[in-house]
Structure formats: structure tokens, C-alpha cells
Amino acid sequence: MKTWLITGASSGLGRLMCENLLARGDRVVASVRREAALEDMRAQYGESLQVMVLDLSHTGTIKPAVEAAFEQAGRFDVVVSNAAYGLSGAAEELSDRQIERQIATNLTGSIQLIRAVIPLMRQQGGGRIVQVSSEGGQIAYPNFSLYHATKWGIEGFVESVRQEVAAFGIDFLLVEPGPTATNFGAGLDIADALPVYRDTAAGEVRKALANGEFTIKGDAQKCVTAMIAAADADSTPLRLPLGSTAWDNIEKALSMRLDALRAMKSVAYSADSLKE
């Protein structure tokens, strides 16, 4: 039996993951913004479910809440940093408040959660941290610049921190789902439109979102099954793309970047000092 801490557990992949883990007999500490969001699960699973009320955008509350939950739970075998939402709009259309909240929730909140659990995992002799990113952590759509900034940012943070804490038996898994049948779209924060962007790439994405034209191939239960299997494994890859859309888009983006990088090799080398 493992003990899991899962943020963003009130809906989507987070809630589904809680349901799967509790059903198999594990213990879950579930982070939600409203305690009532998990009343049905608490009634069914009792003490196997510990609910932690936490809004990751209030970053100063993360460390004390995590430490209190850890003291009650006794250990965290796996921590799943899942809480996030999407912000849609051309960069010029976004308000300062929208930008601040997006970064506080998706990036700073995830960073501070990881910083809070590292010393606890170090003291217990190790553990695994699962950071739910997105295909948007390696590719970029127009109209989602701030969302991509947070996902590319958290992936860079994880790439560095995993090297810092490997000696303590702590490892990481970055999960990169493509478009998946969850309530992600319903939770989108959408900026007020500027007419000047109507006929641009950003405008096309806005229209596609409004008209329901995005193809969603990802199955939420299959994603959760793959996430749990990877988190359970003795060793895990750093990145776990989920869904054919994610794999195809990431493979295309990385191939194009590699081609562009190789074309710049002579220019890059020319910038070296001639001193030995």
C-alpha cells in the first residue's frame, strides 16, 4: 500500500487518479480548493482519503499545508503535482491579473509544492514526484503563450532539480498529455478579444475553441492508468507523452528543432574563443 499526495484532485485527471488509487487500496492525500468537492469519495473510502484544502495560487500557504498533511499521513511515497488550468488569449489580450494568476498556479505553485516535499522525501529515504505537464511543455500553440510559458518553465525546473536530488533517492516523472477528454476546456480562462487578432493565428485558435473544432483523442482513464503504472515502476522515464496527438506533435517539434540546431553548428562554433 502506498501513500499518494495529489493536487488538483477535485476534477479531471486528478480526481480520476484518486478514484483508481483508493479503489485498489492505497491511501490518498487529496489537495482541493473546496473541501466539499470530495465528500462522495470521503464517504466511500473513509480514512483512506485525507483531504487537504489548498489553493496553489496562494503560494505562501503551500509549505505549512504540506508539512501538516505529511505529519498526519506519515509518509508520501508519490507526490502528483497536477493542479493547473489553461489561459487562452493572444499575449497582448491578456490582463496583468490573468498573467499573474496563471504563473502563480501553474508554475510558482508547482515549484513551491516540489520544494516543500523534497525535504520530507529526503528524510524518509526517497520518493517519486510526478509533475503533470502537457504536450504544451515541448510545443506551442498560438493563443496559449502564458500557459506554454508555465509548462516549459516547470519542465526546465524539473530537469534541473532531478539532478540535485537523485542522490537522495528522489526521482521525477514529467507527464505530457495531449488533448484529453477532461473538463480542461470548461476551466479555460479566456481573455477579452481584440478585433485586430481576428484574422491571425491566435484568432483562428480562438474560433476553433469556440466552435468545438479541436480533435480530442485522449482517453482520461487510459491516461490515468498509464500514469499510475509509470509511477509504480521500479524505474521510470523522465517524460511520459500520452496520446497519439501528443507523441506526433512532440516528435515533429523536436525533429524541426534538431534540424534547425544542426544548421547552426558552424555559426555556434564560430563564437568560441580561440584561446586554448
Task: Count other C-beta atoms under 10 Å from residue 77's C-beta.
Answer: 19
CA-CA distance, 143 to 203, in Å (whole number)? 8
- pLDDT recorded at residue 276: 63
- pLDDT recorded at residue 209: 85
CATH ID of 3-191+217-270, from 3.40.50.720, 1.10.3130.10, 3.30.300.20, 1.20.1250.20? 3.40.50.720
- pLDDT recorded at residue 48: 94
Give Dmax over CA atoms of the chain in angstroms. Answer: 70
User: Residue 130: enclosing H or E segment and its boundaries?
Assistant: strand 127-132
Backbone angles phi, psi at 217, to 5 degrees: -100, -25
Taking the CA atoms of residue 209, residue 210, residue 214 and residue 216 in that order, the dihedral angle to the nearest 10 degrees is: 90
Per-residue pLDDT of the chain (276 residues; tens, 9 = 90+): 999 999 999 888 999 999 999 999 999 999 998 878 898 998 999 999 999 999 988 989 999 999 999 999 999 999 999 999 999 999 999 999 999 999 999 999 999 999 999 999 999 999 999 999 999 999 999 999 999 999 999 999 999 999 999 999 999 999 999 877 776 666 789 999 999 999 999 999 998 888 877 777 888 999 999 999 999 999 999 999 999 999 999 999 999 999 999 999 999 999 998 876
CA-CA distance, 273 to 36, in Å (whole number)? 62
Grid coordinates given for 121: 522525501
Measured distance between the N- and C-terminal CA atoms of the chain, rounded to whole angstroms: 57
Dump pLDDT digits (tens) for 169-217.
999 999 999 877 776 666 789 999 999 999 999 999 998 888 877 777 8
pTM across the whole model = 0.93
CA-CA distance, 19 to 224, in Å (whole number)? 10
- pLDDT recorded at residue 257: 97
